[in-house]
Amino acid sequence: MTTAAVIDHTERDPWEVALEQFDIAADKLHLDPNMRGILRECQRELIVHFPVRMADGAVKVFTGYRVQHNVSRGPGKGGIRYHPSVTLGEVKALAMWMTWKCAVVGIPYGGAKGGVVCDPKTMSNQQLETLTRRYATEIMVLIGPERDIPAPDINTNSQTMAWIMDTYSMHHGYTAPAVVTGKPLSIGGSEGRNEATARGAVYTIIEASKHLGLDLDGARVVVQGFGNAGLFSAKLMQELGASVIGVSDTGGGIVDPKGLDPAKVDAFKKEHGTVSGFMGADRITNSELLELDCDVLIPAAIENQIGEHNAPKIRARVVAEAANGPTSPEADRILFDKGIFLIPDILCNAGGVTVSYFEWVQDLQNLFWREATINARLKEVMVKSFSDVLEMSKKHKIDMRTAAYMVAVHRVAEATLTRGIYP
Ligand code: NAD
């Protein structure tokens, strides 16, 4: 049995959650009913079924999705996820969250997302390449540098993006680096993209700690998920002087009150496939990990991790959502009442899409920036966005998620209204 299977999920459909979060902000904004109707739907939902020849010669048919929620503020932008439990509802929710995320940090994109129902852990590199190239071809009716620009998400990485970029370029007869972001540096990727999501999250944690008067030097940090977002968050928090006391992945969690060294845990994970079993640390379940007494809890795995069932047991001072959709609306209310400061996903993890935007700009201009420039510009965006959201939350005496949604929905509604209804 995998650890994922023993997690007590809230089992809420992510799309329902996304709509509920939107409705809360729309009510507060007294949003026009016509605008509400437009923004409650995704503009385009593409479902594809395609065959892939497997290693044993058998042909397997895979299902994939690409959804664009709203593209009023610019081309669609959003990652591609490979996971056995991908559903259309999940992809729609993730696309809607991308719309709000791009708006809350003020970058000129709409929201999109993609996914393929597959288990990459059981597939060879060759099969993954074949699957990726065929999926890219199937969704080519929607993607393009001016139309919709994919990026990595769960179980996809810079190599996946390279295959998509190459497939798109082969079909068009010229090299089109700006069709995807999160590419390797050698083909138009950006410095700093790998760490961008975590770096952006950490900038928001620093801003939150200033607001709360929390000293991050020596602060106890717990990270759920030890992939791109989780590993780099742990490393960057350690660099700030914080002590990473617990981390986890699908294989389970580990805890050491004296502090773990994320680089050593990473080396262990690379060798053994999981953080579980790391010497000197105690094993712990993912549910127990979330309930550890700590200063900063960083969910950096998947959605639906903090619900009504475990929110009362969360003992963190700050919850920083590096993952998308880890907290249900019911849990939001419980955490808010407990005085826990939550940095919502659409703000907290927007560093990834912000540096993706920088990568796209660099590709279109064929002019590349140094890492120091990227990080400085990222910091500027995250600090300004955090301040916009905090101001909204103080003004209306509301939680940070509702505030972030109000900032974002207002911007998207304004763009949609200004453009008008076609024809
Ligand atoms: P990843 O595939 O690199 O890592 C995911 C990690 O989570 C892995 O360590 C995996 O073992 C772990 N995990 C999966 N299910 C789990 C579970 N049930 N319990 C505990 N651990 C579990 O993915 P990533 O890119 O780091 O993405 C993680 C989250 O961050 C996702 O919600 C993603 O949408 C969000 N996010 C990522 C980026 C990015 O740039 N990578 C940007 C914005 C948001």
Domain boundaries of the chain, sorted by first residue: 41-187, 190-423
Beta bridge partners of 53: 59
Which amino acid does the sequence have at 301? A
d(CA 162, CA 168): 10
Q: 113, 183, 235, 269: which one is catalytic?
A: 113
Other residues' Cβ atoms within 10 Å of the Cβ of residue 287 = 18
Question: Do 190-423 and 41-187 fall under one CATH topology?
Answer: yes
121 among known catalytic residues: no
**Quick check: helix, strand or coil at residue 243?**
strand
- Residue from 330, 296, 103 nearest 215 by CA: 296
Cβ(300) – ligand 1 distance below 6 Å: yes
Pocket test for ligand 1, best of 250, 269, 321 (most atoms within 8 A of CB): 250
Take atom 18 of ligand 1 and give the residue whose Cα is closest. Answer: 4
Pairing of strands 243-249, 252-255: antiparallel
Note the CATH number of domain 190-423: 3.40.50.720
Q: Does domain 41-187 have CATH number 3.60.20.10?
A: no
Q: For residue 30, how far is the Cα from the chain centroid? A: 28
d(CA 96, CA 79): 12
In tens digits, the chain (423 residues) has pLDDT values of 233 333 334 468 899 989 999 999 999 999 999 999 999 999 999 999 999 998 889 999 999 999 999 999 999 999 999 999 999 999 999 999 999 999 999 999 999 999 999 999 999 999 999 999 999 999 999 999 999 999 999 899 999 999 999 999 999 999 999 999 999 999 999 999 989 999 999 999 999 999 999 999 999 999 999 999 999 999 999 999 999 999 999 999 999 999 999 999 999 999 999 999 999 999 999 999 999 999 999 999 998 999 999 999 999 999 999 998 999 999 999 999 999 999 999 999 999 999 999 999 999 999 999 999 999 999 999 999 999 999 999 999 999 999 999 999 999 999 999 999 999
User: What are the two backbone dihedrals, phi and then psi, of residue 83, each rounded to the nearest 5 degrees?
Assistant: -165, 145
Take atom 20 of ligand 1 and give the residue whose Cα is closest. Answer: 249
- Å from CA of 301 to ligand 1 middle: 4
Structure tokens at 395: 């003004």
Nearby residues of 346 by Cβ (< 8 Å), 6 or more positions away: 97, 100, 101, 104, 404, 405, 408
